[in-house]
Amino acid sequence: MTTYFNYPSAELQKELRGIANAIVTPGKGILAADESAGTMGKRLASVGLENTEENRRRYRQILFTADKELGNYVSGVILFHETLYQKADDGTPFVQLIKNLGIIPGIKTDCGMVPLMGSEGENTTQGLDDLAQRCAQYKKDGCQFAKWRCALKIGKNTPSYLAILENANVLARYASISQMHGLVPIVEPEVLMEGSHDLDRAQKVTETVLAFTYKALNDHHVFLEGTLLKPNMVLPGQECPIKYTPEQAAEFQLLCQELCFLSGGQSEEEATAHLNAINKCTAAKKPWALTFSYGRALQASAIKAWKGSDAKAGQAELLKRARANSLASLGKYETGSVAGVAGKDDLFVKNHQY
């Protein structure tokens, strides 16, 4: 075995580091608006709308024409392929609207999950074959970062060695290809909230998954300063009989040391309260920014208030949630102080696909 490898050129290192740092500016996080057409269909159905390309465009338009204040709380937006090439009513490309808000456009590059044969319902994520060409094109079209999600289930015998190893490897291969094309990879190994496991088990599994992921990133010579980690928060399973306070959960978190969390099916208020408690927790030193990269927990109230026609109401809800999470990323949120129209709604989805 040799440990020799070449670093990326000084120029590429500078570019990747610059993008990653701009995304984790203190008090800012990411809006994950990269729901695939299928997932968007479920969101639109919840407000009685048909899943057409036009309705998906009209909904995304309200997000990207929100008040400029959004740029104070949100540093990056993750887009789905279709959205990247859509335009507002007046013909302005969405990418341009996002840049006008001072927000960095990013793109989901994974192509969804497929089953691992012989496993207990486990998956890997596909999309590597033409990834290099797609990354090159996305970079030309204005994206500065990418996202790839893998999901692992906690059960009696899962996650298995195969699932942990395979998902770590595919994430590392994706990260390496993204960096070669100037995109900062968001590495997302999500340990799902599905199940009845307690906080201890969630913490142990998350730690193991992250350890495998970092070993794979190192094996693939990925330039770590030019990556962002998007992990699950360490939380008990959805059906766990033991209830924990956000402060109790926060202490478990810090043993893993993370960066921009996904919300994973928590309600809007829970996701904000947990992020706040993590940032307030003094039980361990926090060497990195700990912020948000939320999909459901930033948009549930926005789509509910929009209902297909009320852009202003939808945008006001988005801004409220973005501001609340910006405060939480600084540990300055007062629990319960920002009520959204979907505030306590359960956003958990079994077998969630993005």
Q: Which is nearer to ligand 13P, 8 or 304 (CB)?
A: 304
Label residue 158 exposed, middle or buried (CB < 10 Å: 0-12, 13-18, 19+).
middle
- Judged by CB under 6 A, which of 264, 314, 340, 343 binds ligand 13P? 264
Catalytic, 153? Answer no
Q: Is 233 in the site for ligand 13P (CB under 6 A)?
A: no
Q: Which is nearer to ligand 13P, 8 or 235 (CB)?
A: 235
Tell me which long-range contacts 52-55 makes (C-beta under 8 A, separation of at least 24). 53/82, 55/308
Q: Which stretch binds ligand 13P (CB under 6 A): 52-60, 173-181, 218-226, 258-266?
A: 258-266
Contacts with ligand 13P, 158-197, as mask; x by CB under 6 A: ------------------------------x---------
CB of 347 to ligand 13P, least distance (A): 7
Q: Is 295 in the site for ligand 13P (CB under 6 A)?
A: yes
Query: CA angle 208-234-223, nearest 5°?
Result: 55
* Rounded Cα–Cα distance for residues 316 and 249 (Å): 30
- Judged by CB under 6 A, which of 19, 262, 281, 324 binds ligand 13P? 262
- 233 strand-pairing partners: none
* Rounded Cα–Cα distance for residues 227 and 346 (Å): 31
Query: H-type helices in the chain, by residue range?
Result: 10-23, 37-45, 53-64, 70-73, 81-84, 94-100, 131-140, 161-180, 199-219, 246-253, 268-280, 296-306, 311-329
* Rounded Cα–Cα distance for residues 140 and 136 (Å): 6
Q: Which is nearer to ligand 13P, 145 or 354 (CB)?
A: 354
Q: Is 154 in the site for ligand 13P (CB under 6 A)?
A: no
| Both structure tokens of 260 | 């921009």
Q: Is 321 in the site for ligand 13P (CB under 6 A)?
A: no
Q: Which is nearer to ligand 13P, 8 or 183 (CB)?
A: 183
Q: Is 149 in the site for ligand 13P (CB under 6 A)?
A: yes
| Both structure tokens of 67 | 């008040």
CB of 111 to ligand 13P, least distance (A): 13
- 123 strand-pairing partners: 115
CB of 16 to ligand 13P, least distance (A): 20
- Scanning the structure block, which residue is given the tokens 């209902």? 307
Comparing CA positions, the residue from 106, 208, 190 lying closest to residue 153 is: 190
> 166, 188, 194, 251: which one is catalytic?
188
Q: Is 270 in the site for ligand 13P (CB under 6 A)?
A: no
Q: Is 150 in the site for ligand 13P (CB under 6 A)?
A: no
Catalytic, 230? Answer yes
Q: Is 32 in the site for ligand 13P (CB under 6 A)?
A: yes
Residues known to be catalytic = 188, 230
Q: Which residues bind ligand 13P (CB under 6 A)?
A: 32, 149, 188, 262-264, 294-297, 354
